[in-house]
Structure 1
Amino acid sequence: MPLSGWLPRWMTGYRRHWWWGDVTAAVVVTLLLVPQSLAYAAVAGLPAGIGLTASVVPLVIYPFTGKSHAQSVGPMAVTSLMVLATLSKFATPHGADYVALAALLALLSGAMLVLMGMLRFGFLADLVSGPVMAAFLAASAGLIIVSQLAALAGLPGGGTALPSLLAHLWRVRGALDPAAAGFGLVSLALFAGLRRVVAPSLLSAGVSERMAQAAGRAVPCLVILAGMAVCRYLLPGLPRVGEVPSGVPELALPWSVLGRVPDLVVPAFFIAIVNYVQSLSVAQWLAQRRGDTVDPDRELLAIGLCNLGAGAFGAFPVTGGLTRSVVNESAGAQTQLASLMTAALMLSVMLFAGRALAWLPLPALAATIIVSVSGMLTFAPLVRAWRTDRADAAAWAATFGLVLLLGVDAGIIAGVVVSLASWLWRSRQPHMAEVGRVPGTEHFRNVLRYDVERLPGVRMLRVDESLYFGNQRVVRERILERAGGDGGIRFLVLVMSGVNRVDASALAMLSDLDGALAERGVTLYLAEVKGPVGDVLERGGLLAGFSGRIFLSAHAAWRFLSMPADFQI
């Protein structure tokens, strides 16, 4: 195979006019990524320099494995919080064992993602419903904000769930550093204010919308630089990041903590799922803007390889970041060459700016984190869910509360359980409607919603859900109730247009239902049985028992039952 066959598509089909957009995006994303990388390492309880490694390595791997043109892979706030919540049980943050465990966590989650990608398990993203994922992100953002209040005020951090975070803040309140607190509040105001002012000001000055938005998102780097100068020359007593090692990332496999693998398997799995869902969501959003598509299984492999790379170089779990990717695209990225150039610029920072980064004040870093995640703390999904489906709203509220009270590690498990429980609850309470014919047509609709015709002595019921062990009892009881409520009912037609699947329990229920209705003098008919469902009925021996009582359509059943009894042969 020629070399071009092994290269990613963006490399073999690169266009010269894409160059400037990729270069511009690389510069802008680097300005955003340096403080963001340091900040997310702090959230994870790791030395700041590891955040730079966690950003550089995936930026080199994803361009050769992923498909998205502007996906930017690296640390994410929620994942960092999950790392802290998981590892603080086994080691002290910032310690050597803690750092090694973070790398092991990345390796485990990466291996799981690669394996799921090879097995084409992209559907696992569906384990977490949209409302549950939105609630998990919102609650995690709330925890991150509260966790950074201590650093913002110059206090030592502590706690991973809301009760422990608030209790810790109360215990250490006496150690409040007025200078650090004042500096943190000023930084917070500058971050929030400048982000709202810079882009509109540039737009009014005639700068393109894309560049104005990109510049607005790069504001944190400018504030961080100003804070470093203040810390170095005016307020040297401020809490600061400290030494940031210089040099390129080196292999640092966590041999010393391999015995902890059994303890980290479950947390690694849920981190892998959250990272995959996040990355896939970003990739899909970017693809839709270009009319492109996303291969979920390939995205699994790509994110898995990025995590394996991060873990091998001593970093922590990574994923596609929405903020970074949006900035990347809005700044003009046309291909993944922008990510490779961003990696080169980040390496330059690691080589030549480590000593300067040591003066980065922790209160300013905390302000960066708070502003970055504040947009995730939104209740809009809850409002939408409440208007559309109260079960989804309940799932959102339950997940949000559990994450706050229990922490992100237990909260994500609870979120998955809530997602599955919500689905089971709705599927075991299927929508059933009595239908009638719309006059002059062959269409059948709900008698409660439309003015329809009905046949005397005939009741037509439509089940809008697959039949399985979880709902077969409820379906049977409802059908018997509807068939027995009126003594004049002689025929019952079960319209199965909404039934896509039946299992063994459902087959037994249909057979039992047929006999129970017969004892009441009611004959059961089936209509609109789909092919796969009919195949199951045949294999289960039920099809022969309904011979002559299965109709291709509801209209065919209507015509048959509307004929005089002498013709119903």
Structure 2
Amino acid sequence: MTSAPSIRARRRWFAPTLVDYDRAWLSKDIVAGLAAGAVVVPQAMAYATIADLPVQVGLYTCIVPMVVYALLGGSRAMSVSTTSTIATLTATTLVSAGVAAGADDPLGTLMVLTLLVGVFLVLARLARLGGLVENISGATVLGLKIGVGATVAVGQLPKLLGESENFSGHGFVRSLVAVAQALDGANIPTVVLSVASITLLVVLKRLAPAIPGTLIVVVGGILLVAIAGIDRLGVDLIQPVPSGFPTPVLPDFSSIGAIVPGALAIAVMAFLESTAVARGIRRPAEPPIDSDQELLATGAANVVGSFFSSMPAAGGFSQSAVNQNAGARTQVSTLVTVGLAVLVALFLGPVLSLLPQATLAAMVFVAVVGLIDVPQLIRWSRISPVDFWIALVVALVGLSAGLLVAVAVGVIVTLVLVLRELNTPRLSITARSGDVIAVHLGRGLYTANALANERAIVDLATTQQPQVSAVVLDLERMDAITITVLDALHDLDRELSAAGIVLHVAALPTRAGAVAAKTSWYRGLAEQGRVHATVGEGIADATV
């Protein structure tokens, strides 16, 4: 008979937050799910407009992807739908792929984009790349968010003035031009509604954060249309919202080559945002967040969601914070939010169709302005100039060359910095006996840093006072070894020998030692008694 612990162990990959669920948590999860839904549903609809997609696409992103994450994700309170960053990259990718604003049927291309994002995330999970992706620096992410915030904020200004066309996916410069063109034809009632909506959102966020400002603004905008008829004054409404559950769509692979770079950029940002949110809201008593599990959960959410007209999905901080602060104990709260979104999709389409376009633009504007974290940038300029310049350069690239280019630049810069750090030798003398020293490698040797470490060891050994006659090299960190590394060690032996210094190696792990023993140089080293099991043994033999 299978024991209960083994059953729980098998289930831990599926609905891990529901293992050993306590019924006493149900009331808290229900309240939290409703509170999060009041934020995430209108916010997701607003974010859909960033990509110039129908608002119901944002609503659909609150259904299938959230269910999938609730069943696979490891965060107890994270809410997974779309975010301003992901929506902006989606807009940029669709524009780059030639899916024009207002296209008759952009959903086929959107499906392929979301599917690719999910596939990339799942492949990263299979390759266990969770830790590697997390090496992307905070400076890169900050620069991207500043670029996203400025681009989207400026792109919403024409809508706030009464212009119907969306420019978020066309870049910062073109959005500025659109703002200048929209000034002459600004609609005063639209401007008044926009200013009032932004003011209300900011005031509620600062003075009464527990009140769902987005819901208040949406309800207020709908009432102004239904009762006061402000649409007759030239205030544009969103496109009619159909009632019903999202139905599967057919993929449109005609632009797949153009959207692959964007899908890869979105996948990277989706994972970074999701893991950052999951770890940021995790309570100390909760299980740690597993990067590979988050890759699988977020990837599966996108793969399945793609068949139901979903935008690329990721963990969002604002709705997740609302969910947690309202008392969410598990992902049951997310399922409650999904239930609320389903009800809205089934029954409130005609009501949502009365929503002013400027109201959604105001919600987006307030949300993305918060991404332009200039105080953080200034703080980094004092603490870490390197991080400051990385963030600034990535932001400027995003504003000038586009956000997809900025993501690529950010990833390349991060990898260069990581490789530079890994390739910098970290040597220390851990023991000395007469004219014999033991040198410890702070990092293992591999192809890229072998030559740098060889030179550093030679410099360290030949500059010691008094002069040394032997070096015992501690290789305990060498779990794996390559031909390049073995050649570098052979060269090190020759360099030290030319300087009158004998090289001994110690503590080489068994697996690496078996590979090294296949070379004549290492076998000769062993025959001469210069291979040792421990550093202490090496020092003792070298001192004799």
Query: TM-score, normalising length from structure 2?
Result: 0.86
Whether contact under 8 Å (1:26, 1:338) holds in the other structure is yes
Letter of the 1:489 counterpart = Q
- Give the 3 Å change call, closer, same or farther, for CA 111–521 of structure 1 in structure 2: closer
Cα deviation, 1:194-221, whole Å, max 9, x if unaligned, reads: 211124xxxxxxxxxxxxxxx23x1221
Picking from 518, 523, 535, the partner of 2:502 is 523
- Give the 3 Å change call, closer, same or farther, for CA 473–296 of structure 1 in structure 2: closer
Match of 1:30 in 2: 37
Match of 1:175 in 2: 185
State the 1:120 CA deviation.
4.6
State the 1:51 CA deviation.
1.0
Cα deviation, 1:503-522, whole Å, max 9, x if unaligned, reads: 32222122112112222322
Match of 1:466 in 2: 444
Structure 2 SS opposite 1:420: helix
Match of 1:245 in 2: 242
Whether contact under 8 Å (1:59, 1:74) holds in the other structure is yes
State the 1:413 CA deviation.
1.8
Whether contact under 8 Å (1:70, 1:333) holds in the other structure is yes
Letter of the 1:108 counterpart = L
Structure 1 SS opposite 2:61: helix
Distance, in Å, in 1 between the alignment partners of 2:383 and 2:345 is 49
Match of 1:144 in 2: 152
Structure 1 SS opposite 2:421: helix
Whether contact under 8 Å (2:82, 2:314) holds in the other structure is yes
- Give the 3 Å change call, closer, same or farther, for CA 552–392 of structure 1 in structure 2: farther
1:109 aligned onto 2:117: yes
Match of 1:294 in 2: 289
Cα deviation, 1:29-76, whole Å, max 9, x if unaligned, reads: 121123201111011110112111111222333333334322222111
State the 1:128 CA deviation.
2.7
Match of 1:42 in 2: 49
Distance, in Å, in 2 between the alignment partners of 1:240 and 1:47 is 12
Whether contact under 8 Å (2:277, 2:316) holds in the other structure is yes
Cα deviation, 1:365-400, whole Å, max 9, x if unaligned, reads: 222122223333325765776677665555434333
- Give the 3 Å change call, closer, same or farther, for CA 301–429 of structure 1 in structure 2: closer
Distance, in Å, in 2 between the alignment partners of 1:13 and 1:423 is 41
1:377 aligned onto 2:372: yes
1:260 aligned onto 2:267: no
State which drifts further: 498-507 or 136-145. 498-507
Match of 1:211 in 2: none
State the 1:79 CA deviation.
0.9
1:95 aligned onto 2:92: no
Whether contact under 8 Å (1:459, 1:489) holds in the other structure is no
Structure 1 SS opposite 2:29: helix
Match of 1:504 in 2: 483
Distance, in Å, in 2 between the alignment partners of 1:456 and 1:116 is 51
Letter of the 1:62 counterpart = Y
Whether contact under 8 Å (1:493, 1:527) holds in the other structure is no
Distance, in Å, in 2 between the alignment partners of 1:473 and 1:117 is 32
Match of 2:522 in 1: 543
Matches within 5 A, 1:414-493: 414-433=409-428, 435=429, 461-485=439-463, 489-493=467-471
1:86 aligned onto 2:90: no
Match of 2:166 in 1: 157
Letter of the 2:36 counterpart = V
State the 1:544 CA deviation.
2.9
Structure 1 SS opposite 2:444: coil
Distance, in Å, in 2 between the alignment partners of 1:335 and 1:487 is 63
Distance, in Å, in 1 between the alignment partners of 2:540 and 2:383 is 38
State the 1:222 CA deviation.
0.8
Match of 1:451 in 2: none
Cα deviation, 1:104-149, whole Å, max 9, x if unaligned, reads: 2112222333344455554453353343234323432332222222
Structure 1 SS opposite 2:286: coil
Match of 1:222 in 2: 216
Match of 2:349 in 1: 354
Letter of the 2:95 counterpart = S
- Give the 3 Å change call, closer, same or farther, for CA 169–530 of structure 1 in structure 2: farther
Structure 2 SS opposite 1:543: helix
Whether contact under 8 Å (1:534, 1:543) holds in the other structure is no
Distance, in Å, in 2 between the alignment partners of 1:457 and 1:79 is 61
Letter of the 2:216 counterpart = L
Distance, in Å, in 2 between the alignment partners of 1:397 and 1:527 is 46
Letter of the 1:223 counterpart = V
Match of 1:271 in 2: 266
State the 1:426 CA deviation.
2.2
Whether contact under 8 Å (2:107, 2:249) holds in the other structure is no
State which drifts further: 320-329 or 485-494. 485-494
- Give the 3 Å change call, closer, same or farther, for CA 538–150 of structure 1 in structure 2: farther
- Give the 3 Å change call, closer, same or farther, for CA 459–187 of structure 1 in structure 2: same
Whether contact under 8 Å (2:72, 2:297) holds in the other structure is yes
Whether contact under 8 Å (1:47, 1:94) holds in the other structure is no
Picking from 308, 329, 351, the partner of 2:324 is 329
1:513 aligned onto 2:492: yes
Distance, in Å, in 2 between the alignment partners of 1:19 and 1:251 is 32
State the 1:85 CA deviation.
0.5
Structure 2 SS opposite 1:55: coil
Distance, in Å, in 2 between the alignment partners of 1:336 and 1:421 is 38
Distance, in Å, in 2 between the alignment partners of 1:347 and 1:532 is 56
Picking from 198, 210, 221, the partner of 1:188 is 198
Whether contact under 8 Å (1:399, 1:415) holds in the other structure is yes
- Give the 3 Å change call, closer, same or farther, for CA 118–520 of structure 1 in structure 2: closer
Picking from 198, 207, 216, the partner of 1:197 is 207
* Residue-pair matches, total: 528
Distance, in Å, in 1 between the alignment partners of 2:521 and 2:378 is 46
Whether contact under 8 Å (1:461, 1:492) holds in the other structure is no
Distance, in Å, in 2 between the alignment partners of 1:309 and 1:296 is 20
The runs of 4+ residues in structure 1 deviating greater than 6 Å are 1-7, 383-389
Letter of the 2:162 counterpart = G
Structure 2 SS opposite 1:73: strand
State which drifts further: 228-237 or 319-328. 228-237
Whether contact under 8 Å (1:395, 1:422) holds in the other structure is no
Cα deviation, 1:452-494, whole Å, max 9, x if unaligned, reads: xx76755665443332332333333334444445796342525
- Give the 3 Å change call, closer, same or farther, for CA 478–261 of structure 1 in structure 2: same
Q: Could you list the runs of 5+ residues in structure 1 that have no partner in the other structure?
A: 200-214, 436-442, 445-453
Match of 2:62 in 1: 55
- Give the 3 Å change call, closer, same or farther, for CA 35–112 of structure 1 in structure 2: same
Query: TM-score, normalising length from structure 1?
Result: 0.82
State the 1:557 CA deviation.
5.4
State the 1:311 CA deviation.
1.5
- Give the 3 Å change call, closer, same or farther, for CA 325–541 of structure 1 in structure 2: farther
State the 1:88 CA deviation.
0.8
Distance, in Å, in 2 between the alignment partners of 1:491 and 1:328 is 66
Structure 2 SS opposite 1:88: helix
